[in-house]
Chain A
Amino acid sequence: MNPTRKRRMTLVLLILGAVGVAAALTVYALQQNMNYLLTPSQVLAGQGAGYKTFRLGGMVKTGSVRRDAHSLTVDFTVTDGDHDLPVEYTGILPDLFRENQAVIATGHMDGARFVATEVLAKHDENYMPKELAAAMAKAHAKHHVGTPDPGPGTRQESAPAPSP
């Protein structure tokens, strides 16, 4: 091989190596940070078992929100019409967290309870995240749990838990 070719060869190998490392790191980072959205029915069917954290979507059951008297801990129940799941969250809920409204909570299962680290609520009476609306379409067909149509001029807001 002449020197020019040799240099090009080294360069190509270096680039290939870099691309390989980058691809591996990307795949790793993606796998670590993928969150699946599940409904209570799916969780109770055991679909959440494989994940460290996932997102739980559904409606906040009417009359289920209870605040602890001395701390920021709040308990509520998320339902998709078929099944209920109790949720525990410590922190400040978003402004439009309401009963019988859509909510998406990120967190993990602790026994039979879902412990949320972040709670997202919609920002308008008529708005529901598209993915949640789709996930709940089946439940909605069977029961009337109030899945409103997405409306204009809406946004979501979120309340992350305080870092320790």
Chain B
Amino acid sequence: MIPELGQLALILALLLALAQCALPLLGAWRGNAALMAVARPAAAGQAVFVALAFSVLAYAFLGFDFSVAYVADNANLALPWYYRFVAVWGAHEGSLLLWILILNFWTVAFAARSRHLPEPFAARALGVLGFVSVGFLLFILLTSNPFTRLLPMPADGADLNPLLQDPGMISHPPMLYMGYVGFSIAFAMAIAGLLGGELDNAWVRWSRPWTNVAWGFLTLGIVIGSWWAYAELGWGGWWFWDPVENASFMPWLVGAALIHAQAVTEKRGTLRAWTLLLAIFAFALSLLGTFLVRSGVLTSVHAFASDPRRGIFILGFLTAVVGGSLLIYALRAPKVAAGKAFATLSRETLILIANLMLVASAAMVLLGTLYPLIGEALNLGRISVGPPYFGFLFMLLMAPALFLLPFGPFARWGRADAGELARVLRIAAIAAVALGGTLGFLAWRGAHEFRALLGWVAAVWVLAGVIAYARKRWREAPAGRRYPAELLGMLLAHAGIGVFVAGALLTTALSVERDVRLAPGESVRVGGFDFRYDGVREVKGPNWLAQQGTVSVFDHGRPVTVLHPQKRTYERGQVQTEAAIRPGAVRDLYVALGEPLGDGGAWALRVYDKPFVRWIWAGGLLMMVGGFVAAADRRFRAKRAPQPAPAAATPAPVPAESAA
């Protein structure tokens, strides 16, 4: 009975979503205030019913209701309660429900915080969000119902995929979806602006904090995913250019471009059409990401079941959303007024170049990800594109952006002072060559570590630029106004890029990875450490049995740590490798069990030394914090003057020179 309640709640949510979509859009078109006023209550009601459906599914999982097919497929009696809860989004149907729940979260947040916006604009934006919601609710109800019954009811269920039985599963999907779906707000506001012809800079200012926060969540989701793959897939990589990783990376790249383009549009009024286009593409790529993961058209680490009906539905919806928005864009964008002109040497130009590089990278990733599909369609055979394609082109495309990064904050809007930029160039270059070169030289162990040297130089180059700008603000801006939140966020995010670059290049260059055969008592030397293998013994977990190895690590005879890698066998027979990691600020020591070799207790072991690998995620976290801090800027919170004074309401305390 209770699962049917969930089903009913979803149907009611769909009806409310239809109301939230159609009526406010009609009202805004006709100028009917009563119809526009439907938007907020409809959004709130929809959120209640979706939350109810989600709770019903969670309740079914926690209460072992195996008469629900989805529960029987993804949980069993031995699964601990926290993994049963997480199993709600462990497979297709439930993760779509999570998607919709998060969309409703964002919609309600927007509904609550948009009361100071002109009513037609807010109504249109909520209508667009309602349209997205209708599409996904229909998708769930027509092709992927999580409440389908299974008769006769089995006594016990299957197991949640062992790879997903990990703390990463608790946070990775929700954070990623918070990012994906968060771009829907910027998208809805862009479309609302286009529909209403309100193409001044106002909508951009209102949408900026939403974009920043969504991007921050997406960054966090990607960081957690990367760390999880590193710890759980058992072979120590942090990024695989897997189609599903690419699916989350493309909206991230376009989102980063959007953040910068919005800053230009808001402050200078230029690049308006470009900003609108980016807002559309960021969300379109989020939808494409959902399509790639959920349709199973591409083989990947995340390749779940493929059901052609699902793929066709999402593809159709994607076409409707992207095609529709581009049509609206094509009709309205020519009316967008040009903003202030800018010289070749100006902050606008620098941001535009960085934007082009980010978008070109996203296009490059898109091409490589979809190439197997294109190849299949054109009968070129079954092709896959190897990671070096992505790595090579991404480095190539990002190099100019990294080179220009220190200049961005120093360059003035409109026309930059060439002399000042030359000074920055000198500071950053001297720091990069001196400090970066020294650090790189100290770590030098052979010509193949050229990339480590490059990593230090690039990281110091970026960080020197950030520090130099922070110092300039300290000296020149009046106390209390030195670091407004928006500027501080920019500095943090840019510093994050520096830390990330150091981590990525140093890990790639300096990692030592050995697969070895060890009998008990034998040692292997990896990266200057001695790893002694002391044999395996059996241990038992809640729903698994494991062979647990003991590996003692020594640094020139001095004991460093003892690691316990496991090879787990779950109740349903799935085998799962649990790596053992000694984390550290400058190096991770990583051991994973391979397989038993012969009778003498010998095992195949992966033994890795991973220098600076944590810097990758530390950099990502800094970028995330930057996104959140920038969104908290007072300017974005400032209430507008009473209606209707659209452009005149620029609140007074605008920091003299703030971030891009």
By a beta-carbon cutoff of 8 Å, the part of chain A in contact with chain B is 22, 25-26, 29-30, 32-37, 55, 67, 69-72, 90-93, 95-96, 123-124, 129-131, 134-135, 150-163
**Which one of B161, B577, B597 contacts A67 once the chains associate, using CB atoms below 8 Å?**
B597
Contacts of A25 in B (CB 8 A): 393, 396
Does B554 reach chain A (CB closer than 8 Å)?
no
| With contact pairs A71-B517, A130-B299, A153-B74 given, residues A33 and B305 touching in the complex (Cβ less than 8 Å) | no
Q: Are A91 and B515 in contact (CB under 8 A)?
A: yes
Q: Write the chain B residue with the least CB distance to A122.
A: B303
Q: Write the chain A residue with the least CB distance to B296.
A: A130
Q: Are B392 and A156 in contact (CB under 8 A)?
A: no
Contacts of B478 in A (CB 8 A): none
Q: Write the chain B residue with the least CB distance to A135.
A: B382
Query: Measured between C-beta atoms, what is the minimum distance from B401 to chain A in Å?
Result: 14
Contact pattern, B 24-52, Cβ under 8 Å of A = 1, otherwise 0? 00000000000000000000000000000
Does B384 reach chain A (CB closer than 8 Å)?
yes
Q: Write the chain B residue with the least CB distance to A152.
A: B305
Apart from A34-B371, A150-B296, list 11 A-B contacts with CB within 8 A: A25-B396, A29-B392, A34-B384, A92-B595, A95-B577, A152-B305, A155-B301, A157-B163, A161-B515, A162-B513, A162-B514
Q: Which of B396-417 contact A (CB under 8 A)?
A: 396-397
Q: Write the chain B residue with the least CB distance to A104.
A: B299
Q: Write the chain B residue with the least CB distance to A126.
A: B305
8 A–B pairs (Cβ distance < 8 Å), ordered by A: A26-B364, A30-B385, A33-B389, A36-B381, A70-B517, A130-B296, A135-B382, A155-B304
Q: Are B382 and A37 in contact (CB under 8 A)?
A: yes
Q: Are B517 and A30 in contact (CB under 8 A)?
A: no
| With contact pairs A30-B368, A32-B388 given, residues A95 and B576 touching in the complex (Cβ less than 8 Å) | yes
Q: Are A152 and B304 in contact (CB under 8 A)?
A: yes
| With contact pairs A35-B384, A92-B594 given, residues A154 and B514 touching in the complex (Cβ less than 8 Å) | no
Q: Are B606 and A29 in contact (CB under 8 A)?
A: no
**Which one of A29, A35, A123 contacts B161 once the chains associate, using CB atoms below 8 Å?**
A123
Contacts of A90 in B (CB 8 A): 515
Contacts of B382 in A (CB 8 A): 36-37, 131, 134-135
Contacts of A153 in B (CB 8 A): 73-74, 90-91, 158, 160-161, 304-305
- Interface of chain B, main secondary structure: mixed
Q: How many residues of B contact A (CB 8 A)?
A: 57
Contacts of B594 in A (CB 8 A): 72, 92-93
Q: Are B576 and A36 in contact (CB under 8 A)?
A: no
**Which one of A36, A37, A135, A155 contacts B303 once the chains associate, using CB atoms below 8 Å?**
A155
- Nearest 3 CB-CB pairs, A to B? A92-B594, A33-B386, A33-B389
Q: Write the chain A residue with the least CB distance to B382.
A: A37
Q: Are A92 and B385 in contact (CB under 8 A)?
A: no
Query: Measured between C-beta atoms, what is the minimum distance from B296 to chain A in Å?
Result: 7
Considering residues A67, A92, A129, A154, which has the most beta carbons from chain B within 10 angstroms of its beta carbon?
A92
Q: Write the chain B residue with the least CB distance to A131.
A: B382
Considering residues A25, A70, A72, A154, which has the most beta carbons from chain B within 10 angstroms of its beta carbon?
A72
Alpha-carbon distance A155/B382, docked complex (angstroms): 19
Give the tally of cross-chain contacts (CB within 8 A). 127
Does B516 reach chain A (CB closer than 8 Å)?
yes
Considering residues A33, A34, A123, which has the most beta carbons from chain B within 10 angstroms of its beta carbon?
A33
| With contact pairs A22-B360, A25-B396 given, residues A131 and B513 touching in the complex (Cβ less than 8 Å) | no
Considering residues A131, A153, A162, which has the most beta carbons from chain B within 10 angstroms of its beta carbon?
A153
Q: Which of B241-259 contact A (CB under 8 A)?
A: none
Alpha-carbon distance A69/B604, docked complex (angstroms): 12
Query: Measured between C-beta atoms, what is the minimum distance from A16 to chain B in Å?
Result: 14
Q: Are A154 and B305 in contact (CB under 8 A)?
A: yes
Query: Measured between C-beta atoms, what is the minimum distance from B197 to chain A in Å?
Result: 28
**Which one of A30, A69, A71, A154 contacts B304 once the chains associate, using CB atoms below 8 Å?**
A154
Q: Are B235 and A30 in contact (CB under 8 A)?
A: no
Q: Are B233 and A55 in contact (CB under 8 A)?
A: no
Does B642 reach chain A (CB closer than 8 Å)?
no
Alpha-carbon distance A85/B598, docked complex (angstroms): 26
Q: Are A152 and B513 in contact (CB under 8 A)?
A: no
Q: Write the chain A residue with the least CB distance to B393.
A: A29
| With contact pairs A92-B606, A155-B301 given, residues A33 and B513 touching in the complex (Cβ less than 8 Å) | no
Q: Are A72 and B364 in contact (CB under 8 A)?
A: no
Does B649 reach chain A (CB closer than 8 Å)?
no
Contacts of A70 in B (CB 8 A): 517
Contacts of A96 in B (CB 8 A): 574-575
Q: Write the chain B residue with the least CB distance to A92.
A: B594
Contacts of B514 in A (CB 8 A): 162
Does B114 reach chain A (CB closer than 8 Å)?
no
Q: Are A33 and B515 in contact (CB under 8 A)?
A: no
Contacts of A30 in B (CB 8 A): 367-368, 371, 385, 389
Query: Measured between C-beta atoms, what is the minimum distance from A36 to chain B in Å?
Result: 5
Does B300 reach chain A (CB closer than 8 Å)?
yes
Does B306 reach chain A (CB closer than 8 Å)?
yes
Q: Are B515 and A162 in contact (CB under 8 A)?
A: yes
Contact pattern, B 561-581, Cβ under 8 Å of A = 1, otherwise 0? 000000100000011110000
Q: Are A26 and B393 in contact (CB under 8 A)?
A: yes
Query: Measured between C-beta atoms, what is the minimum distance from A47 to chain B in Å?
Result: 9
Q: Are B515 and A163 in contact (CB under 8 A)?
A: no
Query: Measured between C-beta atoms, what is the minimum distance from B554 to chain A in Å?
Result: 22
Contacts of B335 in A (CB 8 A): none
Query: Measured between C-beta atoms, what is the minimum distance from A115 to chain B in Å?
Result: 16
Q: Write the chain A residue with the least CB distance to B237.
A: A160
Contacts of B161 in A (CB 8 A): 123, 153-155
